[in-house]
Amino acid sequence: MKKPALVFMVLCALALASPALADSIQPLDLSFSRITDNSSVGDQVNLNLNISQVNDNTLVFELSNISGIEAVVSEIYFQDLDGLVARYQILNDQSTGKVRFEEGAKPGSLPGGNEISFSTAFAMQADNPSPKYGINASESLTVSLELASGVAVATLLESMGSQGFRIGAHVQSIAGGTSDSFVSGTPGGGAAAPEPATMLLMGSGLLAGWVVRRRRKRA
């Protein structure tokens, strides 16, 4: 038996044994890719997005700046082509450092986002002055997202995999100079791959959701 077929069978077994996984995830991490080429040291900017679940329809996104050079995230953009998010809340009191953001952003769209067909659904920006209240190295911002009625967590993960749901970040003062834009996952290649254990949980959850939907259609 070929290995892909074996993996698929294992995931199916997990989905059938634990259909509840369709609506739950373990905390997972996503990396970002640079989509502009303004800074000669832009590749040294390192951002991480941690996603955790609060309840059936609420997720917490923590965006951390783990760069080894000077850089500050000044604006954050969310693409939600399928309208999966009903509302969001910026949790400044749960952020790390002097980070403080507000709703809305200028510019209103992710700089350079047109090149990868990034469509902004909602955005947020650091309070003025952004170098002080933006996400500097070793700092993080926490945002709570509430899913729309009837939307399962697995549906959001599926949309992230197909690039329907993406997060963009505009980073300024890179090494004290220029700015660049970044997007979660790899442009043109789907979402960034989590750790193997997380992939197994995500895969089993998505398959469970698929099995449940198939059963409902048959019924």
- pLDDT surpasses 50 at 147: yes
Structure tokens given for 177: 């100079």
| Domains of the chain listed by start with CATH number | 25-192 (2.60.40)
Question: If you average pLDDT over every residue of the chain, what do you get?
Answer: 83
Mean pLDDT of 37-61: 95
Tell me, what's the pLDDT at 194?
A: 45
Neighbours of 15 (CB within 10 A): 21
Query: Sign of the C-alpha dihedral, residues 25, 149, 161, 96?
Result: negative
Tell me, what's the pLDDT at 132?
A: 95
- pLDDT surpasses 50 at 26: yes
Q: Is 53 exposed, middle or buried (0-12, 13-18, 19+ CB in 10 A)?
A: middle
Tell me, what's the pLDDT at 210?
A: 52
- pLDDT surpasses 90 at 205: no
Model pLDDT for residues 151-160, shown as the tens digit of each residue: 999 999 899 9
Beta strands in the chain (DSSP E): 28-34, 47-55, 58-65, 72-80, 85-90, 101-103, 122-126, 135-136, 139-147, 165-172, 180-184
- pLDDT surpasses 70 at 5: no
Query: Sign of the C-alpha dihedral, residues 125, 127, 129, 130?
Result: negative
Model pLDDT for residues 99-138, shown as the tens digit of each residue: 999 999 999 999 999 999 999 999 999 999 999 999 999 9
CB 126 within 8 A of CB 134: yes
- pLDDT surpasses 60 at 211: no
Q: How confident is the model at residue 76 (pLDDT cuts 50, 70, 90)?
A: very high
The Cα–Cα gap between 182 and 190 comes to: 14
Q: How confident is the model at residue 35 (pLDDT cuts 50, 70, 90)?
A: very high
- pLDDT surpasses 70 at 20: no
